[in-house]
Amino acid sequence: MADVASAVSFASSKRCETERKVKKSKAKKKKKVPKKPVVEINSRKDRRIINEYHALNKKIDSLRRSTSIQMKDRSIQIANLEAKKEKLGGINAYQKASKLGEARHGSFNSAKWILKQIRDFDVCKVNSVTTKATEAKIRLLDVGALDNNYRKHQKWIQCTSIDLNPRSDAVVKADFLKLEGNKLYDVVVLSLVINFEGDVRRRGQMLRKCQQLIMDQGYLFIVLPLPCLNNSRYLNDDLFVSMMESLGFKACARHKSRKLSFFMFRKTGHAKVKSFPKKVLRNGGNHNNFAIIL
């Protein structure tokens, strides 16, 4: 009897073991693997929204400058283009696509690179003679910000984040070109801002505005999509740096990622008045038309 009971017990344990293996096998089969193509599709959708929004803005700016079209017809065409922007989702959809792209690719959070340079170059408040901690903070203006990217560093950075259409309570609604020049900053950041402006002259005005808002010996950080300088018909790195030198800015650091160009400039105060008209630097049909006029 003992042998029979032992045999039954052994058979039962083997059956339980087999059932456990089957359950584990089924569990493995049920385990879902993340589908990368979905991310790729979303990424393509974000890029499409951003590119189409830029293209529509460019057409609108071109129409506003046009003198060959009657005002009534021009207004109708502009209204149609504005309607197309709204159909895309408007500025909210553009900003959402930008933010998702930033989170998804990781290669872009310009604040990381900027903070590294601020530390490496030992940037401090310009002309600071105070010993008060609140007054010794670096005054930083972040233009076109989606959020306050410097919140974690508020002990030593006093950040003012602005945008025309804020998506966060941490961002102030303001037009950069209309800011008063009576408040100066130690650091100004223009990250993917200049390329968003479709008017080549207003891009130049943005650079001049930096000249007005930054303290002497203060710093300017500019981030542009790589093709703006690497594949433009009218602009390259050397010409861009020459433009900045004419405004009294000296290049301190540069960096290129897979998709972006990063620049750090220091305001020397030694400006050399010079104009930079739109001029072809690269011939051929495979170049883009990004340009800045000073």
* Predicted pLDDT at 39: 41
Q: Which residues contact 290 (CB under 8 A, 6 or more apart)?
A: 195, 227, 228, 229, 232, 234, 235
| Residue 94 pLDDT grade (very low, low, confident, very high; cuts 50, 70, 90) | low
- Indicate the annotated binding residues for S-adenosyl-L-methionine: 144, 163
The domain limits of the chain are 41-104, 110-267
| pLDDT single digits (tens) 150-198 | 999 999 999 999 998 888 899 999 999 999 988 899 999 999 999 888 8
Q: Residue 129: is its pLDDT beyond 90?
A: no
* Predicted pLDDT at 17: 57
Q: Which CATH class is domain 110-267?
A: alpha beta
Predicted TM-score (pTM) of the model is: 0.72
* Predicted pLDDT at 105: 43
pLDDT greater at residue 223 or residue 64: 223
| Residue 36 pLDDT grade (very low, low, confident, very high; cuts 50, 70, 90) | very low
219-237 burial string, b = 16+ CB within 10 Å, else e?
Answer: bbbbbbbeebbbebbbbbe
